[in-house]
């Protein structure tokens, strides 16, 4: 497969007074050209850190400690800051976790768009005006609203505007961090439809960061499941969601309230991800895993268990037998 | 079944003058965030209120909690009209009808220990210390914070979102309320821990025979905790009935759109367009006739002229649509 982005053993640490926080601790996955990859996991698993590290927009306390991220043939980790900046907007663009963060509250939307198009893209003002209207139309916004201020927009419209802004200079890769998390179900669906349509029309690749497996099922071609700074499972959406190999992925699927599944108790994953200041040794999911055995005290490597389907679990070969157990609440009760 | 808490034809109009010129001309537009809402919930029952953001769900909750003065209409609790109660006269009502906040990360004072947060609501109860402690342990057991000693002396930042939301629920339970109102109680939580909080909410409701009102934009969540549901659009209830029936055979086109939009974690699913157009209209310029008509795929001539009243369409079910 022709990967647009190839991440290998990437580690990103935050310096803190208490020591390094290993927010991403050896992540490996591919983003094929023209595909939407869902990066899924609970809060605190390192998804935003990973997205920001790939984008090169990290806080000062963060640094890439190891690994590589080859994008269009060049390793982002070893590029100079200046070369990095050249890629930003033009080849890869970012929609941050809250749409409001992407937009400047004291500037009209049109002016923000013009700034990117003229100053970064080198377009003339008339060209930029036409392009701004085009971009708004692309995400389903009326170009008349380029004169509006961000606060005049609803949550869904703001998210559309920040996607339009990210697309201004035709990037090949868009990283969107929780683009629908704070939105209600109708707006969620409309935004995901916009993203799918953009991907199809413009041939973009996207990384869609989310804690919601339904978002992955609806919008993504591939999925990367993260737990405690590591990739624990990855592959095509159908393979991973329909026949998960990792107990964490099984848990994420079973915790989902399903409109069609009859009443009964929901199946939560008890507990929470560990602190990444001193991550536990061995399998990081062991403390919450109902299937943990003695061997799980050692670290399972991410292996290709089936063609194009990777997993890091000692009991992956037993997954077909574990899946029915994982769908019962009693299995997870601590 | 007796009605523990009820709303009768509640209206809340907020002043919505955006232009100075309007104000100077004495023209004061109002935004009817809640526009004639009636509902009732009995002990041991749970009612869900569902709708997009901006439909008036939170304002309805605040009116029921007497945190907001209604423009008209009344709130009845245990058979008593509490609409006119003010100040000290409201205190017994306040401890009997509790709110569960949406955002557990904001709901607790970050400087307080969990013990102090749970003690605070009991301050004016004049209970001996031993009794207070017993109440706290009882509430913590109810929400499955086990063992309590593992949490009592910790601060909010030491707990996960799911644990915090259980503390918030325990705090609502220490006063022995008869009713709880939860506004989007799990929307800030990871999907993986929502299930645990919803299970705890449902068990508390059953064990204590609480009247419960849950607000959400997601019918799948409502379905797990509420036997009855009311669908709100622009300040009005447009459909109500048993949740399972409303989901299986929605009578109002807006409800059908909400059902179609429910996220499901399945790879093979209908990705067709939702049967709804655009977003909420400007609240100050609502369409004539049926307020939903500019987004409705079934709108016809009559919908422009005549507003459909909420009427009975089957036993226990109501809808406000000319076609229902
Ligand atoms: N600026 C920071 N300094 C120190 N630790 C951080 C910082 N930002 C995030 N972290 C920690 O890194 C881990 C991963 O966080 P994040 O990437 O935000 O995860 P996610 O997006 O999956 O919720 C968490 O344990 C979080 O507490
Ligand atoms: N204090 C207020 N002043 C003016 N308008 C308000 C106020 N509170 C809510 N509104 C408006 O009332 C409408 C309904 O809001 P809300 O009850 O919060 O809806 P929901 O909870 O369904 O999102 C919205 O248009 C909102 O802007
Ligand atoms: S390696 Fe062991 S503890 Fe980790 S997920 Fe697999 S079975 Fe569970
Ligand atoms: S009354 Fe008319 S516009 Fe309103 S919901 Fe029914 S069909 Fe649609
Ligand atoms: Mg994040
Ligand atoms: Mg609300």
- The two three-digit tokens of residue B276, written as one number: 């709804």
CA distance B65 to chain A (A): 24
Interhelix angle B191-208/B129-142, nearest 10 degrees: 120
Q: Give one DSSP letter per residue of B225-263, joined into a string.
A: H-SEEEEEETTEEEEEEEHHHHHHT--SHHHHHHHHH--
Nearest residue to A176 via CA among A158, A193, A159, A190:
A159
Nearest C-alpha of chain A: how many angstroms from B270? 9
Rounded to the nearest angstrom, the distance between the alpha carbon of B306 and the centre of ligand 4 is: 10
Closest to A177 in 3D by CA, of A67, A93, A120: A93
Q: Residue range B156-180: average pLDDT?
A: 94
- Residue B10 burial class via C-beta count within 10 angstroms: exposed 0-12, middle 13-18, buried 19 and up: buried
Distance CA B198, CA A21 (A): 32
Three-state secondary-structure class, residue B136: helix
Partner-chain contact A184 B53, CB within 8 Å: yes
Give the per-residue pLDDT at A259.
73
B214 membership: H or E segment, kind and range: strand B211-216
Q: Would you say B193 and B162 are in contact if contact means Cβ atoms under 8 Å apart? A: yes
Instruction: Find the mean pLDDT for residues A323-328.
Output: 93
* DSSP sequence for B48-85: EEE--TTSSHHHHHHHHTTSS--SEEEEEETTEE-TT-
Closest chain A C-alpha to B71 CA, distance in angstroms = 26
Instruction: Name every chain A residue with its beta carbon within 8 A of the beta carbon of B273.
Output: 193
The answer to whether A185 contacts B218, with C-beta atoms less than 8 Å apart, is: yes
Question: Which protein residue's CA is at the shortest distance from atom 7 of ligand 4?
Answer: B299
pLDDT band at A264 (very low <50, low <70, confident <90, very high): low
Q: Measured in angstroms, how far is the CA atom of residue A49 from the centroid of ligand 1? A: 6
Is residue A281's pLDDT more than 80? yes
Cβ neighbours for B91, distance < 8 A, ≥ 6 positions apart: B124
Block residue for tokens 């989007």: B184
> Which domains are assigned to chain B?
5-17+28-319 (3.40.50.300)
Q: Give pLDDT, residue A170.
A: 93
pLDDT at B315: 96
Contact assignment for A185 to B190 by CB distance below 8 Å: no
pLDDT value of position B268: 86
pLDDT confidence bin for A92, thresholds 50/70/90:
very high
Contact B57, A184 (CB under 8 A): no
Q: For residues A255-294, b (16+ Cβ closer than 10 Å) or e, as one string?
A: bbbbbeeeeebbbbbbbbbbebeebeebbbbbbbbbbbee
CB B97 within 8 A of CB B64: yes
Residue where the block lists tokens 């109708």: A186
Mapped onto helix, strand or coil, the DSSP state of residue A321 is helix
> Is the C-alpha dihedral spanning B70, B34, B37, A185 positive or negative?
negative
Ligand 2 contacts (CB < 6 A) are B 14, 31, 33, 51, 53-59, 283
Distance (Å, whole) CA B121 – CA B196: 24
* Verdict on whether the full-model pTM lies above 0.80: yes
Across residues A4-13, what is the average pLDDT? 98
Q: Which ligand 3 atom is the nearest neighbour of the CA of A283?
A: 4
Counting ligands in written order, the one closest to the CA of A27 is 1
User: Which residue in chain A is spatially nearest to B254 when comparing CA positions?
Assistant: A186
**Strand, coil or helix: A107:** coil
Ligand 3 lined by A252 (C-beta under 6 Å): no
Whose CA is closest to A87, among A75, A95, A100? Answer: A75
Q: Convert the pLDDT of each residue in B108-155 to its tens digit.
A: 999 999 999 999 999 888 889 999 999 999 999 999 998 999 999 999
| Phi and psi angles of residue B180, each rounded to the nearest 5 degrees, phi first | -130, 145
Q: For B184, name the nearest residue in chain A, comparing CA atoms only.
A: A184
Q: What 8-state DSSP symbol labels residue A297?
A: G
Task: Using an 8 Å CB-CB cutoff, list chain A residues near B261.
Answer: 185-186, 188-189
pLDDT for the residue numbered A257: 82
Q: Which atom of ligand 1 is nearest to the CA of A229?
A: 14
The residue count of chain A comes to 334
**Which helix (H) or strand (E) element contains residue A30?**
strand A19-32
pLDDT, residue A243, reads: 96
Could you please report the per-residue DSSP string of A117-140? IIIIT---HHHHHHHHHHHHHHTT
Give residue A219 CA to ligand 3 midpoint distance, Å: 28
Strands A3-16 and B179-183: unpaired
* Ligand 1 centroid – CA B321 distance (Å): 48
Query: What does the alpha-carbon distance between residue A330 and residue A256 come to, in Å, rounded to a whole number?
Result: 16
Q: Ligand 5 centroid vs B117 CA: distance in angstroms? A: 28
Domain parsing of chain A, residue ranges = 3-91+171-332, 105-169
The residue whose C-alpha atom lies closest to atom 11 belonging to ligand 2 is B33
Q: Give A99's pLDDT tier (boundaries 50, 70, 90).
A: low
DSSP annotation of B110 reads: T
The pLDDT of residue A305 is 97
Q: Distance between CA atoms of B312 and B115, rounded to whole angstroms?
A: 48
Residue B76 has pLDDT above 50, yes or no: yes
User: Domain A3-91+171-332 class?
Assistant: alpha beta
Count, residues in chain B = 324
Give the model's confidence band at A261: pLDDT under 50 very low, under 70 low, under 90 confident, else very high.
Answer: low
Residues of A in contact with B263 (CB under 8 A): 185, 188-189, 212, 214-215, 218
CA A125 to chain B, closest CA, distance in angstroms equals: 31
B278, B205 contact by CB (below 8 A):
no
Residue-wise pLDDT for A201-217, tens only, equals: 999 999 999 999 999 99
For A123-178, write each residue's pLDDT tens digit: 999 999 999 999 999 999 999 999 999 988 888 899 999 999 999 999 999 999 99
Q: Which residue has the higher pLDDT, A196 or A258?
A: A196
Residue of A nearest to B195 (CA): A268
Answer yes or no: are the C-beta atoms of A272 and B162 closer than 8 Å: yes
Interchain CB distance below 8 Å, B191 and A218:
no
Average pLDDT score over residue span B244-268:
94
Tokens of A33: 């050209």
pLDDT over threshold 90, residue B233: yes
CB of B68 within 8 A of CB of B59? yes
How much is the average pLDDT of B24-40? 87
**Largest Cα–Cα distance in chain A?**
67
| Contacting residues of B for A270, CB less than 8 Å apart | 196
Which residues 164-223 of A have a C-beta within 8 angstroms of B? Answer: 184-190, 193, 196, 211-218
Q: Is the pLDDT of residue B1 over 50?
A: no
Strand-pairing partners, residue B229, are B48, B241
Amino acid B28: pLDDT: 74
CA A111 to each of CA A133, A161, B157: distance values in angstroms, whole numbers, following the listed order: 12, 12, 40
Counting residues of chain A whose pLDDT is more than 90, the rounded percentage is 82
Write down the pLDDT at residue B188.
86
ipTM value: 0.90
Residue A83, both tokens: 């070369």
Backbone angles phi, psi at B50, to 5 degrees: -125, 150
Please report how the helices A319-326 and A247-254 are oriented relative to each other, as an axis angle in degrees rounded to 10: 30
CA within 13 Å, CB half, B215: 24
* A-chain residue closest to B266, CA distance: A217
């Amino acid at each position: 497969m022709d990967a647009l982005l190839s991440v290998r053993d990437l580690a990103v640490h935050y310096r803190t007074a208490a020591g390094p926080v290993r927010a991403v601790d050896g992540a490996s996955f591919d983003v094929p050209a023209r595909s939407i990859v869902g990066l899924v996991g609970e809060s605190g698993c390192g998804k935003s850190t990973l997205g920001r590290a790939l984008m090169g927009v990290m806080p000062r306390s963060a640094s890439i400690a190891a690994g590589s991220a080859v994008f269009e043939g060049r390793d982002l980790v070893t590029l100079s800051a200046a070369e990095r900046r050249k890629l930003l907007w033009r080849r890869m663009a970012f929609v941050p976790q809250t749409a409001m963060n992407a937009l400047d509250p004291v500037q009209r939307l049109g002016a923000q768009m013009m700034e990117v198009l003229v100053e970064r893209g080198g377009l003339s003002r008339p060209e930029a005006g036409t392009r701004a209207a085009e971009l708004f139309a692309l995400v389903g916004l009326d170009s008349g609203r380029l004169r509006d201020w961000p606060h005049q927009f609803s949550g869904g419209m703001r998210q559309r505007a920040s996607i339009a802004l990210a697309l201004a200079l035709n990037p090949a890769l868009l990283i969107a961090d929780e683009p629908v998390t704070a939105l209600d179900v109708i707006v969620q669906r409309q935004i995901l439809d916009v993203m799918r349509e953009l991907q199809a029309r413009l041939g973009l690749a996207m990384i869609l960061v989310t804690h919601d497996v339904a978002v992955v099922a609806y919008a993504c071609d591939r999925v990367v499941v993260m737990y405690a700074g590591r990739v624990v499972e990855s592959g095509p959406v159908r393979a991973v969601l329909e026949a998960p190999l990792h107990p964490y992925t099984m848990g994420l699927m079973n915790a989902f309230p399903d409109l069609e599944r009859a009443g009964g108790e929901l199946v939560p994953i008890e507990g929470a991800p560990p602190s990444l200041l001193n991550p536990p040794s061995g399998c990081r999911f062991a403390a919450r895993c109902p299937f943990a055995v003695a061997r799980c005290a050692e670290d399972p490597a991410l292996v290709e268990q089936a063609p194009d389907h990777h997993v890091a679990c000692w009991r992956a070969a037993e997954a077909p037998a574990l899946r029915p157990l994982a769908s019962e609440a009693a299995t997870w009760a601590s | 079944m007796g009605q523990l808490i009820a709303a009768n034809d509640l209206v809340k109009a907020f002043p919505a003058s955006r232009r100075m010129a309007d104000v100077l001309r004495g023209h004061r537009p109002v935004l009817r965030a809640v526009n004639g809402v009636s509902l009732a919930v009995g002990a041991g029952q749970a009612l869900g209120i569902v709708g997009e953001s901006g439909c008036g769900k939170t304002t309805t909750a605040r009116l029921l909690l007497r945190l907001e003065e209604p423009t008209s209409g009344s709130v009845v609790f245990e058979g008593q009209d509490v609409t006119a109660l003010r100040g000290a006269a409201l205190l017994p009502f306040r401890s009997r009808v509790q709110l569960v906040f949406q955002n557990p990360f904001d709901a607790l004072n970050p400087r307080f220990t969990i013990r102090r947060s749970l003690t605070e609501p009991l301050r004016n109860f004049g209970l001996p210390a031993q009794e207070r402690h017993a109440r706290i342990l009882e509430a913590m057991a109810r929400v499955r914070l086990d063992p309590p000693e593992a949490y009592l002396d910790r601060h909010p930042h030491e707990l996960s979102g799911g644990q915090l939301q259980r503390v918030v629920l325990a705090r609502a339970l220490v006063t022995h309320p008869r009713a709880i109102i939860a506004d989007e109680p799990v929307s800030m939580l990871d999907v993986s821990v929502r299930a645990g909080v919803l299970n705890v909410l449902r068990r508390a409701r059953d064990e204590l025979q609480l009247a419960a009102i849950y607000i959400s934009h997601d019918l799948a969540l409502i379905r797990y905790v509420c036997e009855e549901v009311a669908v709100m659009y622009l300040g009005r209830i447009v459909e109500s009935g048993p949740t399972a029936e409303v989901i299986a055979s929605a009578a109002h086109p807006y409800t059908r759109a909400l059902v179609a939009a429910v996220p499901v974690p399945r790879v093979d699913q209908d990705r067709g367009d939702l049967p709804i157009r655009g977003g909420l209209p400007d609240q100050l310029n609502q369409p004539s006739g049926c307020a939903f008509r500019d987004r409705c795929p079934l709108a016809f001539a009559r919908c422009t002229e005549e507003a459909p009243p909420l009427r009975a369409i089957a036993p226990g079910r109501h809808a406000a649509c000319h076609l229902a």
